[in-house]
Structure 1
Amino acid sequence: MNYFVLNERLGIELPALEREWEGYSETERANIVEQWELIRGSIPDRIFGFEKLINHKQSLLYEEENFERSCALNSDIAELASRINDLHIWYRLNQEIGVRRHD
């Protein structure tokens, strides 16, 4: 069974659990946590990739003289920053799961 589904916006798989955490067996929980830790390990690289895109768009913005194009670049930068924020939230989620796992 697959407990995760690809989130295209963030470029990673996110949990798609059908039951409460306690509704899974110990083995299932261990498998879910193990798979999540692998996914979680890829988050810093995703953040780095989005940061590179932001830096590129900021350099384009610095040179841009067309107001409408500047607005579009600002919007793109804001969306990328939002993705980074969401990835930080998902990255911290593992800390909560790890604590629950040991209770």
Structure 2
Amino acid sequence: MQQFFTYDSRLGIPIPTLEKNLAQYSPDIQEKILFSWEQIRGAIPDRIKELEHSINEKQVALSNESNFEKSCELNTEIAGLASIINDLWLWYRASDAIAEEKMHN
């Protein structure tokens, strides 16, 4: 199944990299892809919790930081982590649409 997923180092998870629409694969391959994705998808909330923990640590550091440049750096890091969380939620929700599409075929 690795040929259907590519590890995204920014997100910290493999993401689907299908060369064609899911419906164009054989039913057996579709089932394997969806099963693999559900395993990956199941790990997304844990990944989000890790990132939220990092954000909380950075916010504590930010509240104690008096150096303006360091404060800006921490704010940038927090924003970057929040962006990753947003993208992970998008991937998490996208699989609902994929599953619904599969059920309607």
Instruction: List runs of 5+ in structure 1 lacking aligned partners.
Output: none
RMSD: 0.8
Tell which deviates more after alignment, 15-24 or 86-95.
15-24
Secondary structure, counterpart of 1:13 in structure 2 = strand
Given that 2:6 and 2:17 are in contact with CA atoms closer than 8 Å, whether structure 1 keeps it comes out as yes
Deviating beyond 2 angstroms after TM superposition, the runs of 4 or more aligned structure 1 residues are none
Give 1:22 shift: 2.3
Distance in 2 (CA, whole Å) between partners of 1:53 and 1:42 is 17
Q: TM-score, normalised by structure 2?
A: 0.95
Q: Which residue of structure 1 aligns with residue 77 of structure 2?
A: 76
Cα shift readout 1:37-61 (whole Å, capped 9, x = no counterpart): 0000000000000000000000000
Aligned residues: 103
Using the aligned pairs only, state the percent identity: 48
Please list every run of 5 or more consecutive structure 2 residues that lacks an aligned counterpart in the other structure. none
